[in-house]
Chains A and B, each alone.
Chain A
Amino acid sequence: MNHRGRPVNCILPPHILNALLDSDDQEIRRTAVATLTSTSRLRGERIARAIAAVAAPAGGRRTISDCHHIKVLSQATVERGEDDPPTADPSVNAAFDGLGTTRDFYWEILQRNSIDGKGMRLNGYVHYGQKFNNAFWDSREMVFGDGDGRIFSDFTGSLDVIAHELTHGVTEHTAGLDYHNQSGALNESISDVFGSVVKQWKLGQTADQADWLIGPEIFTPGIEADALRSMKAPGTAYDTPLLGGKDPQPDRMSKFVHLPDTDEDDNGGVHINSGIPNKAFYLVATGIGGNSWGAPAIIWYESLKASSADTVFQEFADTTFAKAGQLYGTGSPEQQAVFAAWQGVEITITGASPLSMRLSAGAASNGNGTAAAVLPSRVDELAGQIKALTKEVNGLRKARA
């Protein structure tokens, strides 16, 4: 991968950074890992991941509790803590392992220490309610149902579901995307994106090898469905009367599903319209190639941190484009992939036309940056001409009146 971002000036030589990894101070270790990982990423090296694995964060300790099929968390019993061995309950172990994998992903790849970035404990609850067809994040813990055994099975059986729920916590502690309408659909999409990326990271898959399915394991064997959602092809995950017909997710803005912002209508279709940004991420990942947890995940994560509660699709798209430019260079293959991906779902990046992207790309590939550099002044020049023409037309109109 050819990175054209600004060089990272690291004042500390690698051997000193390596020595800092042995520090007793967790913050010093964390900073050293972050610096090494960042530097190595831009060099295209793989060593930082191994270092980060050794210097695991002290935070994000896990506790898994059993709700014993009732819906009152205060009555649940603790079944497994961070240092405990596996139990006889597969759901407890699956939740424990899934939360651990997701926590490690956030630390090793994005240098984020648990949900809040400060080592927040990871509390998981399993066997919630009777035949509960759901998993959710309630701002403090992640809760998983067993499924009804007819349509759905145990929700801890799918790593991308567990990573999805934990990511809702990350979103709450970063952008805080409001759980309604477009910002809510974006919130859902971010969880699907990192749910899938964590699974790909765990399996060591490239973007081309991944299935890009959300929750393929949570349906019972008798249900004819690929999964609950498909990021690669939103709207195609299932088509069976037992699930209410066809997967309703749109894959582009012209198919956006307008629903009332009510409980009954999924807060404006947050689980439906998430198909649009989901598809955009899939297109970015496959457009860039390689592993989705590289540039695609980093661009999305940095954009999430730069977003706010009421961010909508267009704003998020613009932010990913800007972040891709900052991280990998204006007109870089990564930024071009981001531009093309959003075009693919009928969202055009504000202020960037296909022509300007071609000019930027050409400048980047020539290595001189000239075309990209003259664009702003050319835009200013055109804006000035439009202003002058408007003034002239207004003058003529007045004269005629």
Chain B
Amino acid sequence: MTERGGFAAAVLRAQPDTVVDTADLASADAAALEGVARTAVARTAGDSGEHRARPDEQSYRVVVDDHGEQSVIKAYDSTMDPAVADLLERVRRHAPSSGGDR
């Protein structure tokens, strides 16, 4: 997951991507994350990709790799789909450096 833009865009621009491997998660967390990812991919499949930038909003790019088959999700704060929001929160929570609930 790549996060860019926002009020602190200059700081965020220098931050590394967040990578979560479900193989490293507890089986229940892995299943939940994979389910949310599939839903988010399905919900954004028909997106045109056109978006008018809003002041200070962040943009998100999530690459979902399902056994070699990759899907890319683009999202923005001002037009956030709830399923994508759920995916972003779970990725952040399970990120290796987050100290989350792994």
Contacts and interface: CB of A to CB of B under 8 A. Distances in A.
Check if A and B associate.
yes
Contacts, number: 117
Contacts of A134: 6-8, 56-58, 77
Interface stretch (A21-29, A99-107, A239-247, A355-363): A239-247
Helix, strand, loop or mixed for chain A's interface? loop
B57 A136 contact: yes
Interface in B62-93: 74, 77-78, 80, 82, 85, 88-89, 92-93
Contact of B5 (A70, A165, A215, A263): A263
Contacts of B8: 133-134, 152, 215, 218, 228, 271
A129 B54 contact: no
Interface stretch (B10-18, B19-27, B28-36, B40-48): B10-18
Interface stretch (A31-39, A58-66, A137-145, A321-329): A137-145
B10 A272 contact: yes
A131 B93 CA distance: 9
B4 A138 contact: no
A172 B4 CA distance: 22
B74 to A, nearest CB: 8
Nearest to A144: B7
A72 B80 contact: yes
A136 B6 contact: yes
B59 interface: yes
B77 to A, nearest CB: 6
A179 B9 CA distance: 13
A247 B7 contact: no
Nearest to B77: A136
B89 A129 contact: yes
Interface residues of B, number: 32
B7 A244 contact: no
Interface string A151-193: 1100100000100110010011000000110001001100100
A183 to B, nearest CB: 11
B12 A138 contact: no
B5 A266 contact: yes
Given A72-B85, A244-B15, A136 B80 contact: no
A270 B57 CA distance: 12
A70 B78 contact: no
Interface string A99-142: 00000000000000000000000000000011101111111000
A137 B9 contact: no
29 contacts: A70-B89, A129-B85, A129-B89, A133-B8, A133-B12, A134-B57, A134-B58, A136-B6, A137-B54, A137-B56, A151-B11, A152-B8, A165-B55, A179-B53, A188-B55, A215-B8, A228-B8, A229-B10, A244-B10, A244-B11, A263-B53, A263-B59, A263-B74, A264-B2, A264-B13, A265-B4, A266-B5, A266-B9, A271-B10
Interface of A: 70-72, 129-131, 133-139, 143, 151-152, 155, 161, 164-165, 168, 171-172, 179-180, 184, 187-188, 191, 215, 218, 228-229, 243-245, 247-249, 263-267, 270-272
Given A131-B98, A135-B7, A228-B11, 17 more contacts: A72-B82, A131-B92, A136-B78, A138-B78, A165-B7, A168-B56, A184-B53, A187-B55, A191-B55, A244-B14, A248-B10, A264-B61, A265-B13, A266-B5, A267-B53, A271-B7, A271-B9
